[in-house]
Structure 1
Amino acid sequence: MLRAHAGAHRQQPKSTGVSSERRFFGQKTAVKFLLYAILLTHLVFTGYPFVWMVISSFKSNKEYFANPWGLPSEWRFDNFAKAWSEGIGGYLFNSLYITLFSVIGLLIVATLIGFYFAARPFKGSGLLLGMFFLGMLIPVHSTLIPLFMISNRIGTYDTFWALFFPYIAFNLPVAVFLSYGFFREVPREIEEAATVDGCGIYQSFFRVYFPLAKPVLATVTIVSFFNIMNDFVFPLVMISKESLKTLPIGLMMFKGNFSADYSLISAALVITTAPILMLYMFLQKYVHKGVVAGSVKG
């Protein structure tokens, strides 16, 4: 009797441990289910409008109003050709031109600054870097009037240069922040080995560090590409020539000219979103690595 009672008493903690383990896994499953439910809800609310826009772009305007939520009875591609011929192609080219050159300039300047601060720290470099990062706190549009006056004074108004330099400047703090965080974590032995092989500081940067920075470069490229391609206010203020107008301005005018042709507007929107989607699909494998690698530790 006593032995049986003692054995049962010794087995009690084991059953308590099993029940605690079951509760833990039950709570973990519930949390996972909740996270998946949130992600699915987010996917529906963000993905469905895009899918609806793509489907609408293949309909005639008559079918769009007759059956706005259904699939097209006949998949029409002439909406894209008409949208392109009505000026969307020119606006897209202007936006891609200024965006590509701005992103290339941004990558070169930001990685050089981040590399120099990480590899060659000097007295007061931390304070200077901190003041540099304060640029992320400045509202971009608060500088619009001063930049307009400067651009008018130096003769860059109504040219792509009026957009090129501001786009680099306003995207520079985040780009330098990510670049500095990445280069700071690169082992110094790599630079020492490059120095032994006869590389100077700039040769080390372009031959060793720059190829290693693909994740950060991809992240900066996607973020800055998205910001510049979708900017509306600066091109509206800095550009007045019809031949130089960018895609957001062109879409506004396009919508005004074809306000009742929703299938044509949908086709124009698909054309405008295609470059950003293709760029993200091409570089997405580097994005997460870039954010993690570019975070500054301690």
Structure 2
Amino acid sequence: MKTLKKASPHVLLLIYVAVILFPFVFVVFSSLKQSNLEIANNPFGFPTSLYFQNYVDAWVKAKINVYFFNSAYLATTSALAGVLLSAATAYALVRMRYLKVSKIIYQFVLIGMLIPGNVLFIAQYLLVMKMGILNTHWALFLPYTAGALPVSVLLIAAFMRSIPNELEEAAVVDGLGSFKLFYKIILPLTLPALVTVFIVNFLGSWNEYLLANFFISKDALKTLPTGMVGFRDSFQTNYALICTGIVFSVTPVLILYAFLQEKIIEGVSAGAVKG
């Protein structure tokens, strides 16, 4: 009985992992099959032969390469901009407490977390149209960056509160000004939180569909989620190509998390415990 009790949590975790991974494994196997007939006859089995031509066709003929670059470019730049702006804002609100309006500004920023993004869609569309940046990447870059600020400021501010004030006082004594103190002392110490925020912002921009669908109509500027819709319409009978497109959209996220998972866990746990 004791052995069963000890093993049961591990068995449940294995079952959970299997359930989570099964759809992705199914998609990968299907992307390597040559035809719809093979998928229909053996939907959950290993391909009889690995047909990598699907990846070439999807990358070139379906222009996944264009959509992939657009998504990677927008997700990376907006995530980096969000990290820098959030770090500067959090530092000003947490450390510069002599500013009388710091608490008011902090509460005002956090109010943004209470507003669903879809509620602002019409206002964002009108603003983007009046700014003359509709159908450009700026129409997505600015909303992506601004929309990520409330959560980012909350996470980074919680981490910055765990940094001892003595470190900053010693740096000031050594002659560092506010700007040098920020990028030489504060930013390196908050790196785990910055990585966490970057990943969260990157995933949000990478998977975003609503704004990308309505703000961008030029095919050369479309992102992967909106491009995948056209890909499905163009190749709706070729399920192998559809699965190949899904693999292209999921793989970068898995690779990014695999390399940065330690920093992500460290940032979330440190901010939660010490903040």
- Tell me by how many angstroms 1:296 deviates: 7.4
Specify every segment of 5 or more residues in structure 1 that has no aligned partner in the other structure, as ranges: 1-24
SS at structure 2 position matched to 1:221: helix
Equivalent position of 1:113 in the other structure: 89
Asked if 1:84 is matched to 2:59, the reply is yes
Equivalent position of 1:291 in the other structure: 268
Q: Is the 8 A contact 1:177 1:294 kept in 2?
A: no
Structure possessing the higher radius of gyration over alpha carbons: 1
SS at structure 2 position matched to 1:278: helix
Distance 1:205 1:244 in 2: 36
Q: Deviations over 1:106-134 (max 9, x none)?
A: 01100011111121113342232122111
Q: Is the 8 A contact 2:159 2:274 kept in 1?
A: no
Equivalent position of 1:67 in the other structure: 42
TM alignment of 1:198-217, pairs within 5 A = 198-217=175-194
Distance 2:187 2:204 in 1: 23
Change beyond 3 A, Cα 1:198–1:240: same
TM-score (norm 1): 0.86
Identify which of 72, 84, 87 aligns with 1:96.
72
TM alignment of 1:151-170, pairs within 5 A = 151-170=128-147
1:60 partner letter = Q
- Count residues with an aligned counterpart: 272
Over the aligned positions, Cα root-mean-square deviation in angstroms equals 1.9
TM-score (norm 2): 0.93
Q: Deviations over 1:18-65 (max 9, x none)?
A: xxxxxxx96x984x6554344233212211111111111111113222
TM alignment of 1:43-58, pairs within 5 A = 43-58=17-32
Q: Percent identity at matched positions? A: 37
Identify which of 152, 158, 171 aligns with 1:175.
152
Q: Deviations over 1:185-216 (max 9, x none)?
A: 10111111211221111101101111111211
Runs of 4 or more consecutive aligned structure 1 residues displaced over 4 Å after TM superposition: none
Equivalent position of 1:245 in the other structure: 222
- Tell me by how many angstroms 1:293 deviates: 2.2
Distance 1:236 1:99 in 2: 15
Q: Deviations over 1:215-269 (max 9, x none)?
A: 1111111111111101110011111111111100110110111111111111111
2:138 partner letter = W
1:153 partner letter = K
Equivalent position of 1:277 in the other structure: 254
Identify which of 266, 270, 292 aligns with 2:243.
266
Asked if 1:185 is matched to 2:162, the reply is yes
